[in-house]
Amino acid sequence: MYRSVVRNTLLTPSAVNKILALPADETACASLLEILAKFQDIKKFASEIHTEIHVIKPILKLLGLSYESKPKFFEEHIKEPDAVLFSSEEERFRSSQLWGTVEYYAKALGILLLKRYGRNLQEGITGFFLEFENRIPTYQIAYLLKKSKTPWGILTNGREWILVKRPAHYELRLLSLDLETAMFENDRDALHIFNAIFSLTGLTKTIPNILDEERDYLIELLREKRALVQQSLQGARKRVEVYPKMIDAFKDLFGDRELACSEAYLLEKKADLSQKTYAQPDGINEHNVSDISSFLFNKKGYEVNTNLEGIFLAEKGVNATKEQLLALKILDMTPNFGNLASDLVEGLAYFAFVLPYREKNTFIAEWEDETLVKRYIVDNILYGVERSHLALDILQIMIRKRFNAAARHFTYGNPLIGMSVEDVSTYFDAKSQMGLFDKNPQDIINDFKETYRLYFSLSDRIKEDVQVREELEKRLKRNGERIRGAMDLIVSTYFNKTVDNKRIQDVLSHLDSDDVDWENLAKKDWFVNAKTLARNNGFFHFDVEFPFLLNGAFDFIFVQPALQYIWEENFPLAEATRAYVKRGMPYLKQGGRMVIIIDNPDSNLAGELQRSTRYETDVQDGMIVLKKK
């Protein structure tokens, strides 16, 4: 759009165009340029106070905003905002009697937080013990807004100005403008946008009105689109019939996007793919891709009231430090279009900001950068298994767009169909004759687990360790593919009876055979058919696909059993919940929690879970939490 617009999760392109169409205040733009130009001579050595006196306060006056400097905050351990903004001097005087209270901030138009000129507003300050004012500035303003209930926040270093809407949960809805770039490039449009948005009129009328208009437009558009999608899917149940229609509807809203998993599936099935050219409408904010997809393609949308703070931080002494929180392993068994995944990333990143380090003088740069800490969470904490190719594609688009990361631990499969590696050896008949040099399947599995334990213990940054890891990867890939093949074969017997016990024994006894023997075995019709059945039904073996589970477990497992796609037949909710609990519990560590997000749970189901001796059950509003004993 404009190089001066650094970041925008608040407004659609359509909204920006509406702002540009407003009459420009050329006098204000000229005055803004004058303020910035005068500051250039001292900016290299300017302190925070210099920035405030020579840039911030003159610009606030130019914007028509009344402000109170250094107001007391109602939490003693938190540094006060640099200013509280009011719509007029009269409103500021009337509110003064409420000084230092929640009510004082509730009457304000906004909060302003300023940093020295040019300071990075997404990073904490390296080398300092992280008192509140030295932590990640974007989260500082988010914290103040959440606590104070003030509608708007302005975070600025004089050069970059960020307007932040008070978070409903943990997500940052903001627009950031680089005024120095606008000045050097004489970008009058960017200066016009700044004045129209950050001014008194912008904060009280322009932005609220445009957001309301955009919301009303989007609701109407999506209702019409949902009706058309439902109409087009009448009678369609197979994915080869459903996916092309859904892909068409998705691309109508979000333009030509790569949907690799879905399109590969359709090509494999020799289905026709549309050759249309798509363009994203200006009224769509791609930041909302998960929410929009959930509304269009689910029978019931995502429940947005999940109390993540209560889930992660309520228990005293548990997840009480950054190190504890960011060492978690979390599984989403029903990722859908990524709504919960995005909430988890945003929420965990915010909690990491709030929590202290275990030791006072610790500073981990990756955790003190808003972008990097979110990417760290995606790369190291979150895992997911999604049963729809299209939902997985959309989730990956969301992760790339919002967090600049690849959702490498989110994969296709049916989380309810599969088995564990440990159970493979139980299918082996010890009386079955093996080759002289063949290993017992149990020995192979033990070696597989031990090799992964060694692999994960090695550093990916030390040259010698990297070389060993590369050698181990070859062994693990070979053995993993064979063990997966055996598991697929065993599970396939629950779907048809073409594979008898003799063939299972044959495969298990060849797990350690040479490559030629294994390839000949894998080409057998019955083995090929079992693999095809596994692929078509999404067989998913957790500890093969997520191998850290061979020697570990998840801290949290999230399940939304009521989530159904609009093309799916209805299924009994209580039965589905039991199936998720049965399948997920073996991969949850002792003391870990399974969070079942469910509206109005069936009393019989809740009672059944509460009677179990395997876990403690806590029935809350909108969810059931099972703590493994």
- Helix ranges restricted to H, 280-417: 289-297, 308-313, 322-325, 339-354, 370-380, 389-403
Q: What is the pLDDT of residue 128?
A: 59
Counting Cα atoms < 13 Å in the Cβ hemisphere of 366 gives 10
Task: Give pLDDT, residue 100.
Answer: 86
The answer to whether the beta carbons of residues 455 and 476 sit under 8 Å apart is yes
| Phi/psi of residue 391, nearest 5 degrees | -60, -40
For residues 238 and 240, what is the distance between their CA atoms, to the nearest angstrom? 5
Enter the DSSP assignment of 459.
-
Q: Are 424 and 508 in contact (CB under 8 A)?
A: yes
Domains recognised in the chain with CATH numbers: 5-210 (3.90.1570), 217-297 (no CATH), 308-417+545-628 (3.40.50.150), 421-536 (no CATH)
User: pLDDT tens-digit profile of 104-132?
Assistant: 998 999 999 999 999 999 999 876 566 88
Residue 16's pLDDT band, with cuts at 50, 70 and 90, is very high
Output the average pLDDT for the chain. Answer: 92
What are the percentages of helix, strand and coil residues in the chain, rounded to 5?
50, 10, 35
Give the pLDDT confidence of 354-379 residue by residue, as tens digits.
Answer: 999 998 888 899 999 999 999 999 99
Which pLDDT score is estimated for 435? Answer: 56
The pLDDT confidence band at residue 487, using thresholds 50, 70 and 90, is: very high
Cα-based distances in Å from 276 to 87, 165, 184, 293: 50, 37, 41, 20
d(CA 412, CA 260): 12
Token code pair at residue 307: 């109390």
More confident residue, 468 or 1: 468
Which contiguous run of DSSP H or E holds residue 112? strand 110-114
Residue 339: strand, helix, or coil: helix
Give the burial class of 523: count Cβ atoms within 10 A of its Cβ; 0-12 exposed, 13-18 middle, 19 or more buried: exposed
Dihedral in degrees, nearest 10, Cα atoms 290, 302, 246, 261: 60
Q: What is the structure's pLDDT at 239?
A: 92
Segment 603-628 mean pLDDT: 89
What local confidence, expressed as pLDDT, does residue 376 receive? 97
In the structure encoding, which two tokens stand for residue 36, read together? 């910035």
Question: Checking DSSP bridges between strand 382-386 and strand 330-332, what pairing results, if any?
Answer: parallel
With 80 as the cut, is the pLDDT of residue 433 above it?
no
The residue among 305 and 239 whose pLDDT is bigger is 239
Average pLDDT over residues 558-563: 94
pLDDT tens digits, 185-206: 999 999 999 999 999 999 999 9
Mean pLDDT value of segment 404-412: 96
Report the pLDDT value the prediction gives residue 236, as an integer from 0 to 100: 83
Task: Name the CA radius of gyration of the chain, rounded.
Answer: 28
Give 513 or 316, the one with higher predicted confidence. 513
| Confidence band, pLDDT 50/70/90 cuts, at residue 316 | confident
With cut-offs at 50, 70 and 90, classify the pLDDT of residue 315.
confident
* pLDDT tier, 434 (very low <50, low <70, confident <90, very high otherwise): low
In whole angstroms, what is the distance from residue 415 CA to residue 425 CA?
Answer: 21
